[in-house]
Chain A
Amino acid sequence: MKDAHVYSHYRDTVIGAVVDLAAEHPEIVFLDADLSSCIGSTAFQKAYPDRFFNCGIAEANMVGVAAGLASTGLVPFIHSFGCFASRRDYDQLFISVGYTHQRVHIIGSDPGITAQYNGGTHMPFEDIALMRQIPGMVIVEPSDAQSLYELTQQVYENGQSSYIRTPRKGISFRYTTEDHIELGKGIELRDGGDIAIIATGVLMVDAAMGAADILRGKGIEATVIDLHTIRPLDTELVEKAAKRCGRVLVAENGRYAGGVGEMIASHLAAVCPVRMGFLSVGERFGEVGNLSYLSKAFGFTAENMAAKAEELLAK
Chain B
Amino acid sequence: MDKAAIDALRDAAFSIRCSTIREIASFGSGHIGGSMSIIEILTYLYYREMDTDPSDPGKETRDRLVVSKGHAGPAVYATLASKGFFPGEWLSTLNQGGTRLPSHCDMTKTPGIDFTGGSLGQGFSAAVGIALGQRVRKLGARTFTIIGDGESQEGQVWEAAEAAGAWKLDNLFAFLDLNGQQLDGYTKDIIPQIHIPERWKSFGWDTREINGHDFSEIEEAIEAAKKTPGMPHMIIMNTIKSYGYIPGEGIKSNHSMPITPEGAEEAIRALKEREGRV
How many whole Å from B107's CB to the nearest CB in chain A? 6
Residue in B108, B121, B122, B136 with the greatest tally of chain A CB atoms within 10 Å: B122
Q: Which of B108, B134, B136, B155 contacts A100 (CB 8 A)?
A: B108
How many whole Å from A87's CB to the nearest CB in chain B? 15
Does A182 reach chain B (CB closer than 8 Å)?
A: no
Residues of B within 8 A of A99 (CB): 108, 116
Q: Judging by beta carbons under 8 Å apart, are A71 and B162 in contact?
A: no
**A91 CA / B124 CA spacing, docked (Å):** 14
Q: Judging by beta carbons under 8 Å apart, are A69 and B133 in contact?
A: yes
Q: Judging by beta carbons under 8 Å apart, are B139 and A68 in contact?
A: no
**A residues within 8 Å of B by Cβ?**
29, 50-51, 53, 55-56, 58, 60-61, 63-74, 91-92, 95-96, 99-101
Q: Judging by beta carbons under 8 Å apart, are A100 and B115 in contact?
A: yes
Q: Judging by beta carbons under 8 Å apart, are A64 and B122 in contact?
A: yes
Q: Judging by beta carbons under 8 Å apart, are B115 and A71 in contact?
A: yes
Does B137 reach chain A (CB closer than 8 Å)?
A: yes
Closest to A61 in B: B159
Q: Judging by beta carbons under 8 Å apart, are A69 and B108 in contact?
A: no
Digit string of B157-172 for contact with A (CB within 8 Å is 1, else 0)? 0011011001100000
Q: Say whether, besides A64-B122, A92-B125, A99-B116, A56 and B163 are in contact (CB < 8 Å).
A: yes
Q: Judging by beta carbons under 8 Å apart, are B134 and A72 in contact?
A: yes
Q: Which of B136, B160, B162 contacts A69 (CB 8 A)?
A: B136
Q: Judging by beta carbons under 8 Å apart, are B160 and A64 in contact?
A: yes
Q: Judging by beta carbons under 8 Å apart, are A74 and B133 in contact?
A: yes
The A-contacting residues of B in range 42-98, CB under 8 angstroms, are 60, 66
**5 intermolecular pairs with C-beta atoms under 8 Å apart:** A58-B162, A61-B162, A65-B128, A92-B156, A99-B108
Residue in B119, B131, B133, B134 with the greatest tally of chain A CB atoms within 10 Å: B133
Q: Judging by beta carbons under 8 Å apart, are A96 and B116 in contact?
A: yes
How many whole Å from A297's CB to the nearest CB in chain B? 35
Q: Judging by beta carbons under 8 Å apart, are A100 and B116 in contact?
A: yes
**A100 CA / B116 CA spacing, docked (Å):** 7
Does B180 reach chain A (CB closer than 8 Å)?
A: no
Does B39 reach chain A (CB closer than 8 Å)?
A: no
How many whole Å from B200's CB to the nearest CB in chain A? 16
Residues of B within 8 A of A101 (CB): 108
How many whole Å from B45's CB to the nearest CB in chain A? 18
**A92 CA / B129 CA spacing, docked (Å):** 13
Q: Which of A50, A66, A71, A95 contacts B136 (CB 8 A)?
A: A50
Q: Judging by beta carbons under 8 Å apart, are A73 and B118 in contact?
A: no
SS class of chain B's interface: helix, strand, loop or mixed?
A: helix
Does B41 reach chain A (CB closer than 8 Å)?
A: no
Residues of A within 8 A of B259 (CB): none
Residues of A within 8 A of B128 (CB): 61, 64-65, 68
Q: Say whether, besides A61-B163, A72-B134, A100 and B125 are in contact (CB < 8 Å).
A: no
Residue in B107, B126, B159, B162 with the greatest tally of chain A CB atoms within 10 Å: B126
How many whole Å from A142's CB to the nearest CB in chain B? 28
Residues of B within 8 A of A60 (CB): 121, 125, 155-156, 159
SS class of chain A's interface: helix, strand, loop or mixed?
A: helix
Q: Say whether, besides A68-B125, A92-B122, A58 and B130 are in contact (CB < 8 Å).
A: no
How many whole Å from B151's CB to the nearest CB in chain A? 13
**A91 CA / B128 CA spacing, docked (Å):** 18
Q: Judging by beta carbons under 8 Å apart, are B163 and A68 in contact?
A: no
Closest to A94 in B: B119
How many whole Å from B113's CB to the nearest CB in chain A? 10
Q: Which of A51, A65, A73 contacts B126 (CB 8 A)?
A: A65
Residues of B within 8 A of A69 (CB): 129-130, 132-133, 136
Residues of B within 8 A of A73 (CB): 60, 133, 137
Q: Which of B121, B127, B159, B162 contacts A68 (CB 8 A)?
A: B127
Q: Apart from A72-B137, A73-B133, A91-B119, what are 12 other A-B pairs with CB-CB below 8 Å?
A: A58-B159, A58-B163, A61-B125, A64-B121, A64-B156, A65-B129, A65-B163, A69-B136, A71-B129, A73-B60, A74-B136, A101-B108
How many whole Å from A102's CB to the nearest CB in chain B? 9
3 interchain residue pairs of minimum CB distance = A68-B129, A64-B125, A72-B133
Q: Judging by beta carbons under 8 Å apart, are A71 and B133 in contact?
A: yes
Closest to B161 in A: A61
Q: Judging by beta carbons under 8 Å apart, are A96 and B125 in contact?
A: yes
**A144 CA / B260 CA spacing, docked (Å):** 63
Q: Say whether, besides A64-B129, A65-B129, A72-B134, A96 and B122 are in contact (CB < 8 Å).
A: yes
Closest to A76 in B: B129
Q: Judging by beta carbons under 8 Å apart, are A67 and B126 in contact?
A: yes
Closest to B68 in A: A64
Residues of A within 8 A of B108 (CB): 99-101
Q: Say whether, besides A29-B136, A64-B129, A67-B126, A55 and B115 are in contact (CB < 8 Å).
A: no
How many whole Å from A96's CB to the nearest CB in chain B? 5
Q: Judging by beta carbons under 8 Å apart, are A66 and B60 in contact?
A: no
**A100 CA / B131 CA spacing, docked (Å):** 18
Closest to B128 in A: A65
**A192 CA / B132 CA spacing, docked (Å):** 54
Residue in A64, A70, A73, A74 with the greatest tally of chain B CB atoms within 10 Å: A64
Q: Which of B122, B155, B160, B166 contacts A95 (CB 8 A)?
A: B122
